[in-house]
Each structure stands twice: as C-alpha cells, then as structure tokens.
Amino acid sequence: MQRWQERPAVVAAWGMVAAFGAYACMYGFRKPFAAGGYEGAEFGPGFKAAIVTAQTLGYALSKCLGIGLVSAMPAGRRIASLMALVGLAEAAWVAAGLLPRPWNIACFFVNGLPLGMVFGLVLGFLEGRRMTEALMAGLCASFILADGLSKSLGAHLLATGVPERWMPAVAGLLFTPPLAGFAWLLHRLPPPSEADVAARRERAPMDAAARRAFLRRNAAVLGMVILAYSGITVLRGLRADFAPELWRALGFPGQPSLFTRSEFWVASGVLLANALAVRWHDNHSAFRYGLAIGIGGVLMVLAAMAARGAGWMGGFGFMVTLGLGLYLPYVAVHTTLLERLVAGAKDRANLGFVMYLADAGGYVAYAVILLLGQAGDGPRGSLAGFEGLAWVVCIFAAAAFAGAGWLMRRGKA
C-alpha cells in the first residue's frame, strides 16, 4: 500500500492546510490590535498611527535581518524557531497591557520584530516543489483571510468587554493551541521529491558567498520586481492597518464580520488566479504569467478608483475590488515570480533569500510612509490620501513589472 507521503495530491493538500493554518494563527499574534480605535489615549489622537508605525518598524527590521537568518536556516530548526518567535511576540503583548501609554509603544515594536521571520520559516517547507504555486497560494490566502479574521476577533473581544490594552494578548492566547497543531503538521510534511528537485532545483541554506553570486547574475530583474512589490506592499499595508478608518470613510460602521466577509472574496479570487501557475512547467513562461497577473491587478485598482469616483461602484464592492487588485500582484510575487526566478537560476539559491530581500524593501518603504504621516497629513486612515498615493504607486508598479519582463527577454536573469 502506497504511503501518504508518496501521493502528490495528499502531500499538496497536507502542505496547504498546514501552511494556511500556521500562518493564519501567526496573524492572531500580529493584527487583532488594529480593530481598536485607541481614541482618547493619553498620547493624543495619533496614538493608533504611532503603534502601527512602531510594529511596522519592528517588522521591517525583522525582514532585513531575515535576509541572512532565514536564508541560512537549516530545515531541522524551523519549527522550534517558529514557536520561540511567536512566544516572544505574545510576551510583548502582555508587556503592552502592563505598561502605561505612551511607554507601551515600544512593545508594538518588539511584537513586530520576531513575527517578521515567521513567513520565511513556513515558506521553507513549501518551496522547490512542482506544486509550490498552489501551496503558496494557500499560504498567501491565509494572510488575506487572517487579516480580516484577526481584526474581527479583536472587534469581538472588545465588544464582549475585554479592555483595549489587553485585547491583543487575549487574542494571542486563543491562537496558541491551533498554532501548535498546525506547526506539528508542517513538521510532518515530507521534503521535495526527486521529481520536484529536477523541475525546481534543490533548495539549500545559503551563505554570504552564495547570496552575492545569485545577485550578481539576477539583480536587474529581481530589482524591478522588488520595486513594484515595495509600492504594492505600502498600499496593501495601509488598507490592512487602517481598514476600520477606510470602511467608515466609505459609510460603513465597524461591524466585526465586515473585515472577514470582504476578505473572503478577495482570497478566493487571488487563490484561484495564482494557483493556476502550476500549469506552466517552463519557468520562463510561468514568470511571464506572474507578470501578467501583477499588471492586471494594479490596473484593477486604477479601474476601481475611477469607478468609485464616477459613482459606478459602492463602498463594499470598492474595498473588495481594491483588495483583489492589490493582493493579485502581491501574492504573484510570493507564489510565482520569485519561485520561478530561483527555479530557473544557474546559482544556488532559496526562496527565503529573495523573498526577504523583497519584503525588506516593501516594509522599509511602508515604514517611511507611516513616519512621514506622523509629521504631516499622510495617507494613513484617509480615503482621499490613500487614493492619491494609489494612483502614483499603481502606475509605477505596472511600469516596473513590464520592465522586469523586458529584462527577462534580454537575458538579464
């Protein structure tokens, strides 16, 4: 009787469930606080923007550190490292509940610092397989749905009387048991088969010399993808962290179920479009498909803003279309563009390295936008400010994706 580890369909389903669940649970330690308004705080009306900025700075620093740490992580240390990082993040939430405002702002920085490396640890279990795009689409669907779910849980906890300062810590405790279960499922996932390695190359830990060698040959195409991804990360972050404010600006009250309901439709469309990349066995063809998704997504954002401005689209449809347009390219970078760039490369590499280069650029850009918003009228929480930034970013991102395709045809990767 064939063991389940030798059945590709079973392995794919196992990996998708394990990765989806593990990363969705991580969001329970990261995002529930965003459901709070933090109005009347002693620090003033900018307290929420301050704590979002603090967590983002920690997350951005984590992505920078992860370029070396995640890319060099041996497979046998991933699960223990994941649980230790999440434990540190929960300890930061407990400290945030104990410390008075504004001193607890530092706890939000500490919370973001370990969580930024969790994605790369989960990613290491999924890369280098013929079904990687499908597995990664499931993983990415988790942070779309979990973003809404975690804020819905945060809003529910507040509605049931949990104090705003303790709500993030309580949410983290609720997510701890399922996280442990999904981490065990990840641990049991078999490594890539010989056929997987033949199609997508062996993925091994990278030292500094291997990282430099990969960049020397692939920097041009990778740089264009990272430029587009960084802009999209900024918009995606603003939409996620200031969702209650954007919904209110569109005329919707703070219903706890609203976040989850809108993100369900976003995740469904993104999962389907990006999982289809497994149909392309040729890495260059799949890369071009990923670029098409990216360009199509940012054009969808531009169309949604134009339609809302003309009165042709309501608030709910606008937020869903906006989310779909942003997450299509965001997820395509994760599932297809960087995976196929590594698979087709002539140098030893792994997805953790290139993904953390991209994430470092994206979250540093987002942190800069948030810091600029602290000094003036930035786009945080303002629908008009968000849309103004989105027009510039989406046009720029479309040009960058097109540039990556042109460089690929010129043999720059």
Per-residue pLDDT, averaged over 67-76, amounts to 91
Q: How confident is the model at residue 276 (pLDDT cuts 50, 70, 90)?
A: confident
Residue with the larger pLDDT of the pair 102 and 400: 400
Per-residue pLDDT, averaged over 332-359, amounts to 89
Q: How confident is the model at residue 144 (pLDDT cuts 50, 70, 90)?
A: confident
Provide the pLDDT for residue 271: 79
Per-residue pLDDT, averaged over 342-371, amounts to 87
Provide CATH code, domain 4-409: 1.20.1250.20
Provide the pLDDT for residue 1: 39
Per-residue pLDDT, averaged over 258-286, amounts to 80
Percent of the chain with pLDDT over 70: 92
User: What would the pLDDT profile of 243-268 be if each residue is shown by its tens digit?
Assistant: 777 888 888 765 656 767 777 888 78
Provide the pLDDT for residue 226: 96
Least confident of 86-95, 149-158, 175-184, 350-359: 149-158
Residue with the larger pLDDT of the pair 168 and 347: 168
| Whether pLDDT at 21 is above 80 | yes
Per-residue pLDDT, averaged over 23-30, amounts to 90
Q: SS3 for the chain, per residue?
A: CCCHHHCHHHHHHHHHHHHHHHHHHHHCCCCHHHHCCCCCCCCCCCHHHHHHHHHHHHHHHHHHHHHHHCCCCCHHHHHHHHHHHHHHHHHHHHHHHHCCCCCCHHHHHHHHHHHCCHHHHHHHHHCCCCCHHHHHHHHHHHHHHHHHHHHHHHHHHHHCCCCCCCHHHHHHHHHHHHHHHHHHHHHCCCCCCHHHHHHHCCCCCCCHHHHHHHHHHHHHHHHHHHHHHHHHHHHHHHHHHCHHHHHHHCCCCCCHHHHHHHHHHHHHHHHHHHHHHHHCCCHHHHHHHHHHHHHHHHHHHHHHHHHHHCCCCCHHHHHHHHHHHHHHHHHHHHHHHHHHHHHCCCCCCCHHHHHHHHHHHHHHHHHHHHHHHHHCCCCCCCHHHHHHHHHHHHHHHHHHHHHHHHHHHCCCC
Domain residue ranges in the chain = 4-409
Q: How confident is the model at residue 392 (pLDDT cuts 50, 70, 90)?
A: very high
| Whether pLDDT at 235 is above 90 | yes
Provide the pLDDT for residue 224: 96
| Whether pLDDT at 96 is above 80 | yes
As a whole number, the mean pLDDT across the chain is 86
Provide the pLDDT for residue 374: 59
Residue with the larger pLDDT of the pair 17 and 380: 17
